[in-house]
Amino acid sequence: MSITEIPRAFLYKCDVCGAEHIQEGASGYYTNSRPPHWAMLRIEQTAYDYQGAACADGTIERLLCDACRGEAIKVINKWATRKMKV
């Protein structure tokens, strides 16, 4: 009989395009993080009911792969630059 430890691995999946990244051999610290060059897009907001009263946390989070991160930054910067009145 032999016993072999199988290292823990974490599979990250981009919330937009579905790209995957497998992180192996990370002893736990990686679980609440993200792969190198990936990003977490987070919009913190409150959800309101039909009468306008705050009723819940409406925060939106998207885990983005490297490519989607780059595209999101471009789109956000383009939008913000166009809207800014300087």
Cβ–Cβ < 8 Å for 60, 16: no
The Cα–Cα gap between 53 and 37 comes to 38
- Our CB check for Zn ion shows the closer of 30 and 67 to be 67
- Our CB check for Zn ion shows the closer of 58 and 70 to be 70
Name the region of 18 (left: φ>0; alpha: ψ -120 to 50; beta: rest).
left
* From 21-29, 44-52, 54-62, 65-73, span contacting Zn ion (CB under 5 A): 65-73
Instruction: Please name the residue that has the structure tokens 């819940």.
Output: 56
Instruction: Tell me: does residue 65 bind Zn ion (CB under 5 A).
Output: yes
Minimum distance from residue 48 beta carbon to Zn ion (Å): 30
Instruction: Tell me: does residue 68 bind Zn ion (CB under 5 A).
Output: yes
- Our CB check for Zn ion shows the closer of 13 and 78 to be 13
Instruction: Tell me: does residue 19 bind Zn ion (CB under 5 A).
Output: yes
Query: Closest by alpha carbon to 37, among 66, 6, 3?
Result: 66
Tell me which residues touch Zn ion (CB under 5 A).
Answer: 14, 16-17, 19, 65, 68
